[in-house]
Amino acid sequence: MPQSTQSFRLSNGLLVIVEPMQDVQSAAVTLLVPAGGVYDAVGRCGTAAVLTEMFTRGAGGLSTRELSAAMDNLGLQRSAYVGNAHVTFSAATTADRIIDALPLIGSMLTAPHLADDDFEPARDLIEQSLMSLEDEPRQRLGKVLREYSYAAPWGNSAEGELSDLPTITIDDVRSHYQKFIRPNEAILGIAGNVDIDEIRDAIEASLGNWKSGEVSDVIAGDLPQSPHHIEHDSAQTHIGLSWNTVPYRHDRYFDAWAAVSLLSGGMSSRLFTEVRERRGLCYAISASLSTLLNEGRVFAYAGTTTERAQETLDVTVAEILRLPEGITEDELQRCKARAKSSLIMQQESTTSRSSSLARDMFHLGRVVTLDEINTRINALTTSQVREFAIEYAPKAMVLVTIGPQELSPACVTSLG
Is the pLDDT at 2 greater than 70? The verdict is no
First and final C-alpha spacing in the chain:
43
Q: Rounded to an integer, what distance in angstroms lies between the CA atom of residue 17 and that of residue 359?
A: 11
Phi, psi angle pair for 362, to nearest 5° = -70, -50
Q: Rounded to an integer, what distance in angstroms lies between the CA atom of residue 158 and that of residue 152?
A: 11
Contacts 24+ apart (CB under 8 A), 321-328: 321/393, 321/394, 322/270, 323/259, 323/262, 323/263, 323/270, 323/389, 323/393, 324/386, 324/389, 324/390, 324/393, 327/262, 327/382, 327/385, 327/386, 327/389, 328/382
Q: Report residue 135's pLDDT band, with 50, 70 and 90 as the boundaries.
A: confident
| Mean pLDDT of the 94-108 span | 96
pTM over 0.95: no
Q: Rounded to an integer, what distance in angstroms lies between the CA atom of residue 331 and that of residue 38?
A: 38
3-state secondary structure of 252: coil
What is the DSSP annotation of 87-127?
A: EEEEEEEEGGGHHHHHHHHHHHHH-B---HHHHHHHHHHHH
Question: How far lies 25's CA from each of 5, 98, 347, in Å?
Answer: 18, 11, 13
Does a cis peptide bond (omega within 30 degrees of 0) precede residue 183?
A: no
What's the pLDDT at 210?
95
258, 254, 415, 253: which is closest to 324 by C-alpha?
258
What's the pLDDT at 262?
94
Radius of gyration of the chain (CA): 23
What's the pLDDT at 345?
72
Q: Is 395 left (phi over 0), alpha (psi -120 to 50) or beta?
A: alpha
Write the single-letter amino acid at 363.
H
What's the pLDDT at 4?
82
More confident residue, 298 or 339: 298
Contacts of 358 by beta carbon, 8 Å cutoff, 6+ apart: 17, 30, 31, 32, 187, 188, 189
Q: Rounded to an integer, what distance in angstroms lies between the CA atom of residue 267 and that of residue 272?
A: 6
> Are residues 314 and 411 in contact, defined by beta-carbon separation less than 8 angstroms?
yes
Question: How far lies 116's CA from each of 57, 64, 69, 121, 125, in Å?
Answer: 11, 14, 22, 10, 15
Write the single-letter amino acid at 112.
P
Taking only the tens place, the pLDDT of each residue in 286-338 is 999 999 999 999 999 999 999 999 999 999 999 999 999 999 999 999 999 98
Task: Report the half-sphere exposure of 175 (CA within 13 A, side-chain side).
Answer: 10
Report the percent of the chain where pLDDT is more than 90. Answer: 88
Task: Report the half-sphere exposure of 94 (CA within 13 A, side-chain side).
Answer: 6
Taking only the tens place, the pLDDT of each residue in 164-183 is 999 999 999 999 999 999 99
- Average the pLDDT over each of 14-28, 34-48, 305-319, 341-355 and give the range with the smallest value: 341-355
Q: Report residue 3's pLDDT band, with 50, 70 and 90 as the boundaries.
A: very low
12, 14, 10, 21: which is closest to 370 by C-alpha?
21
What's the pLDDT at 87?
97
Q: Which residues pair with 242 in a beta bridge?
A: 299, 398
> Are residues 346 and 171 in contact, defined by beta-carbon separation less than 8 angstroms?
no
